[in-house]
Structure 1
């Protein structure tokens, strides 16, 4: 099970979640309005959850139904976007 970034992240400028990830599994692109978590790199530590100012990060099994599409989106976009710096 991996962490998943969902819709409330869109447009967040804070990005505090990036600095606490021990696995460096976040991916982002300057042209993207949010960050993504690579499910293959994520170690499910949950450190990013409490740092997310928009409460957009969930354990995969806990993603609210309206945001289930973000599970696949994170996996796909993490492969397309470079690792976050």
Structure 2
């Protein structure tokens, strides 16, 4: 349990949050000022390396998603 070294990362548009994919199966949301974990999602059905923030930083899209088959899962970020 904990983040692995195989990472893919994307900063939120305001730079206050960092989304990190670890081992292609889990997404961690970190506060960039403190590096504290705000949320974790996964494990996902399929491995993914795709992250995309909405322009306002309120949504985070994760490729592969929770249901597999190339799905995309969109999370609301508070």
Q: Which one has a larger percent strand, Structure 1 or Structure 2?
A: 2
Give TM-score scaled by structure 2 length: 0.28
Higher RCO structure, 1 or 2 (CA under 8 Å, sep 6+): 1
